[in-house]
Amino acid sequence: MAMENKKEQILQAYQFRHACKEFDPTKKISDEDFHFILETGRLSPSSFGLEPWKFVVIQNPEVREKISSAAWGQKQVTTSSHFVVILARTKADLTYDSEYLSTLFNDVKKLPEAAKEGLTKAIKRFQEVDFNLESDRAIFDWACRQTYIALGNMMTAAAQIGIDSCPMEGFNKEQVEQILKEEGIMQGDFGVSCLVAFGYRVNDPASPKTRQTMDMVVDWVK
């Protein structure tokens, strides 16, 4: 495909994507398409490559009802084809000397000893000095920031294949975490970062997309 066409198609997907408020519950995303969406989340970049996330796909209607009641009753939770709770890892897993990092470096990245030592040192300096990530909340919020990259990538990828989505922060974090714990869905060193629903829209967006102009949001230093 010519580059100009490709750019046009990508921008069309950005225009197509909107925060869908209600999905058609009878229209289901195919397994193959949903796997494609998840794959763009899995392949997303993260600080130091720590992949501090888990994508929990909630298809159980009773669990969705419970989550909806802790998420301002928003219809996206119950009407979407696929509903994802994005979890972020907490301090116990993300501190430079944690077991999770050690397993990730050894078993996933298969780093040689010297590389592992160098990376661990860099993460320690980053966490303790450069970014001052020592409180539980600071380190969890750092993990959440990474998950938003995966969130954005998944929504854009979905839009490129004609699938609608809605990112959601409109929920009570403590209540949703309580539900996930009670249901045995979330254990240990995770917290809820955000929610995202995927499916097919019932209605087109109520109004055209509005954004500030390029001049308002971009400064150039030349």
From 74, 146, 147, 193, residue interacting with ligand FMN (rule: CB under 6 A) = 74
Our finding on whether 18 is near ligand FMN (CB under 6 A) is yes
From 170, 175, 178, 185, residue interacting with ligand FMN (rule: CB under 6 A) = 170
Coil, strand or helix at 62: helix
From 19, 57, 122, 161, residue interacting with ligand FMN (rule: CB under 6 A) = 19
Residue 11 CB neighbour total at 10 angstroms? 10
The residues facing 99 across adjacent strands are none
Our finding on whether 194 is near ligand FMN (CB under 6 A) is yes
CB 172 within 8 A of CB 66: no
Sheet with 164-168: strands ordered across: 53-57, 82-89, 190-199, 164-168
From 83, 164, 165, 167, residue interacting with ligand FMN (rule: CB under 6 A) = 167
53 φ, ψ (degrees, to nearest 5): -135, 165
Radius of gyration of the chain (CA): 19
CB of 16 to ligand FMN, least distance (A): 10
Q: Which residues contact 220 (CB under 8 A, 6 or more apart)?
A: none
CB 49 within 8 A of CB 189: no
Q: Candidates 1-9, 54-62, 103-111, 165-173 — which segment interacts with ligand FMN by CB under 6 A?
A: 165-173
CB of 30 to ligand FMN, least distance (A): 24
Our finding on whether 37 is near ligand FMN (CB under 6 A) is no
Our finding on whether 166 is near ligand FMN (CB under 6 A) is yes
Q: Candidates 13-21, 85-93, 107-115, 118-126 — which segment interacts with ligand FMN by CB under 6 A?
A: 13-21
Residues in contact with ligand FMN by CB under 6 A are 18-19, 21, 74, 166-170, 194, 209
